[in-house]
Structure 1
Amino acid sequence: MQKPDIPHLLEKYRTGTISPEELALLEAWYLQWQPENQDISLEELQAIKAEVWQSVKPPPARVIKTRSWPRIAAAASLLLLLAASAYYLLHQSTQQPKQKQVAASPVYDFKPGGNKALLTLSNGQQIVLTDAKNGKLADQGSVTVNKTANGQLVYGAGTGNASANMIYNTLATPRGGQYHITLSDGTQVWMNAASSITYPVTFANNERKVVINGEVYFEVAPDENKPFKVSTGNQEVTVLGTRFNVNGYADDAAVSTTLLSGSIKVRNLTSGQSSLLAPGQQANIFKNQAPIHIKTVNAEDAISWKNGYFLFDNQDISSVMKIMSRWYDVDVEYSNYNRQDRFGGTFSRSANLSEILHNLEQVGSVHFKMQANKVIVTN
């Protein structure tokens, strides 16, 4: 038999909405009920009865017909029932611990970056490409600058010879940004987050030279008469037509250049030392060091960012979080983190940051706490 809902029945009785069947259930429960605490005093029971009586307001005085006496008697008999029930409910409530209500903490997460960049023209005018409409943006000398439907910046080929006073533009991506630009010679450039490139809108007759910061991938249009040069930090790369990636963030220990196809010459501007790279090789020039360190790598891994994913190979948490900081535009703090864990794996750049951090927690002794504008790394 299902136990009756005593609190509900008592409330219905108090408000006068109880049905005959429910009243019978309530009376039956009262006849069978025995308080678990047999030490209840008479004074306590009388106090409970008085409290219950105050809650049951008597109706206005009226003429009572004889046939109403059974109902009055039933009500009187239930007065003690109510008193006992009140004790029952009070007794039950003291046995059940109150649940502590805790205010819900806000849930923070960070969405992945996207096509965001700032174009600075030769006259200092700046165009936020995220807000700019597709189509013609500006004329720079004889070159037209267009934003295409796929979020790409394209420079026309231009006409005539390059001027002695060359016109330069700068394209910069913020943290959480990336962009693809086609230079006037047809060279394709992909920029990672927090990167920049400064370039002439029309190249000189004898060379093509650009300056970068951050990480940039190039597919250089072939031109045997015009070598293509990329300067970053204390390094210069010279090519004729090839595919390569340069990672030259100012806060990294070294500038890394990885060759995917063709041939390039890497020169240390500080020492003057030069080295030729073959496809599948990577040159690393460390700050304030003369040697160029060359090693064989999987070159495609170097452009995983350009292909839409992160690739970590035995990297420490500091290196991993530096990449996360750039792409998700979030600051990183370390709180008593002193472990030497190494991490590896492949993650989509389109995933929210919480998903990647959760996976890192599963494979290492590291924990992350996301706040409004930062991530805290702990043991």
Structure 2
Amino acid sequence: MKNRPSIYYLFQKFIDGSINKPEYDQLIQYFGEELYDQQLEDLIRQKLSEEPSAIDEEAMAKTIASVDLIIRQQISVKINKKKRIRQLYPFLAAAAMLVFGICSFFYWNKLDLVDKQTVNPKINDILPGTNQATITLEDGTLYKLNDKISGITAQGDHIRYADGSSIIVKTPSSLLSLTTPRGGTYQITLPDGTKVWLNADSKLDFPVRFANNSRSVSLKGEAYFEVTADAARPFVVQSSGQKVTVLGTHFNINAYDDELAVKTTLLEGSVRIDSKSEKSFQSLILYPGQQSIVTSDAISMEKVDPDDYIDWKNGKFVFSDESIASIMRKVARWYDVDVVFEGIDQNEKFWGSVSRFENVIKVLENLELTGGINFEIKGRTIFVKKLKS
């Protein structure tokens, strides 16, 4: 059964201004259902307790103003008299509870938060991924990159950090590999000026110098590309089962070996996807807002919100009607953990949004808010379990 977006997910998007019209309508609907009164209050308390040091009058005013806007929007909705009577009272009760809860929270939050942190220490928490990567030469020589710097620049046979300091002054190799481990990410500017963001557990092979008539790289894992325009030299990305050809554009490729398909999502420009299987050769052209899906025997295209597929590059996890199996693969790569499912349908869909810079427990707590699931952390293994009724 398809779950509705969680209240937490929608309210967070409303607060930060990223909510769209269908999501806004769903949030309004939640505010009209008495069933969600307690959850509405709880999510506000959780939001305000995420970073105690940041709690101030400005944050309180912003949250209360947001709730007030929803109140006025709900009251202005044109509904028939009977429906209005049924919905308005529980809605106003929920809204009043929220505003009262926010204001009172600011009165006693410091003492309460100290108590909660003392009673419930997060001893099993796991830190998020960081800047981690290596550069490997053709002869196997490996350079571990500085985790205090987020990127490198390849200028011919000279490899530098983004701050200008040198890594390799003159490489004897014609082909280099940038590799991130589980729990790592890194950026690179290629010799032509193309920028690449490499996600966790990924590898980018690239030449020291591009050819005169083409620019070719290969990818395993996931990367976001901002390709420098060059009409005379197409930019080509080879990945599992496909070839992506562009002149200058922005796109994301997800080509992990443990995923069922290779997905290419386009943000700007256009790209051609070529896919060759044992049975056939297929190709299609992508335009902004479209995504190609390449499997072992087929290629297809669908319309998507591109922002949902570059969330990782922007420092977020965004789960939009996504299976728990897919979500936990992302969690496993970024936090370098193992995942064990116990008695839960791995195809069940969830919604959520949280910073990738939070410790893993915050990500899991947000998923639990959707209901029907809970997590247990033992060492570096996360157990995913069906919530007992």
Calculate the TM-score normalised by the size of structure 2.
0.63
CA contact (8 A) 2:132 2:147 kept: no
Q: In the alignment, what sits opposite 1:144?
A: 158
Tell me what 1:107 maps to. 123
Q: Aligned pair in 2 of structure 1 residues 319, 199: CA closer, same or farther (>3 Å)?
A: same
Q: 1: distance between equivalents of 2:283 and 2:135?
A: 33
From the two aligned structures, give the one with the greater helix fraction: 2
> Higher relative CO (CA 8 A, sep ≥ 6), structure 1 or 2?
2
Aligned position for 2:292: 283
Aligned to 1:258: 265
Instruction: Report the structure number with the largest CA radius of gyration.
Output: 1
Q: Please name the residue that 2:144 is paired with.
A: 128
**Root-mean-square deviation (Å):** 2.9
Task: Measure the CA separation in 2 of the matches of 1:191 and 1:208.
Answer: 18
Separation in 2 of the partners of 1:329 and 1:246?
Answer: 21
Counterpart code for 1:114? T
1:306-331 Cα offsets, whole Å, 9 max, x none, are 01101101112111111000001111
1:173-192 correspondence runs (5 A) = 173-192=180-199
How many residues are aligned here? 264
**Aligned-partner residue type, residue 148 of structure 1:** A
> 1:258-314 CA distances to partner (integer Å, 9 max, x unpaired)?
11111110010223211011111110011x213x21111112221111011011011
Equivalent residue number for residue 244 of structure 2: 237
Q: CA deviation digits over 1:93-146, x for unaligned, max 9?
A: xxxxxxxxxxx9992111111110011023321011136999999x99x52101
Deviations 1:131-178 (A, max 9, x none): 6999999x99x521011249x99999x9xxxxxx97100001011110
Q: Percent identity?
A: 41
Structure 1, unpaired ranges of 5+:
1-103, 159-164
Distance 1:261 1:168 in 2: 28
Indicate conservation of the 8 Å contact 1:254/1:284, yes or no: yes
8 Å Cα contact 2:151-2:161 kept in structure 1: yes
CA contact (8 A) 1:285 1:293 kept: yes
Q: Name the stretch that deviates more: 294-303 or 217-226.
A: 294-303
* Cα distance change on mapping 1:224 and 1:319 into 2, 3 Å: same
Q: Residue 34 of structure 2 corresponds to which residue in structure 1?
A: none
Deviation of the 1:377 alpha carbon: 1.0
Residues 217, 244 of structure 1: 8 Å contact kept: yes
Aligned residue for 2:330?
323
> Do the aligned partners of 2:128 and 2:356 also contact (CA within 8 Å) in 1?
yes
Equivalents in 2 of 1:259, 1:185: separation in Å? 20
Q: Cα 1:145–1:339, aligned 2, differ >3 Å: closer, same or farther?
A: closer
Partner of 2:114: none
Q: Deviations over 1:311-360 (max 9, x none)?
A: 10111211111100000111101122247532112110011100111121
Q: Are residues 132 and 300 of structure 1, via their aligned partners in 2, closer, same or farther at CA, if it must alter by over 3 Å?
A: closer
Q: Distance in 2 between matches of 1:143 and 1:325?
A: 35
The aligned counterpart of 2:281 is 272
Whole-Å separation in 1 of the counterparts to 2:121 and 2:181: 30
Is the CA contact 2:150–2:187 (under 8 Å) kept in the aligned structure 1? no
Unaligned runs of 5+ in 2: 1-119
Pairwise CA distance, 1:200 = 0.3
Q: After superposition, give the CA deviation of every residue in 1:221-240 in whole Å (9 maximum; x if it has no partner).
A: 11111100001110000001
Q: Which residue of 2 aligns with 1:222?
A: 229
Matches for 1:1-379 after TM superposition, within 5 Å: 107-130=123-146, 142-149=156-163, 167-270=174-277, 271-286=280-295, 288-290=296-298, 292-338=299-345, 341-379=348-386
For the Cα contact (< 8 Å) 1:117–1:128, is it kept in 2?
yes
TM-score, normalised with respect to structure 1: 0.64
Rounded Cα–Cα distance in structure 1 between residues aligned with 2:183 and 2:152: 25
Tell me if structure 1 keeps the 8 A contact 2:152–2:187. Answer: no
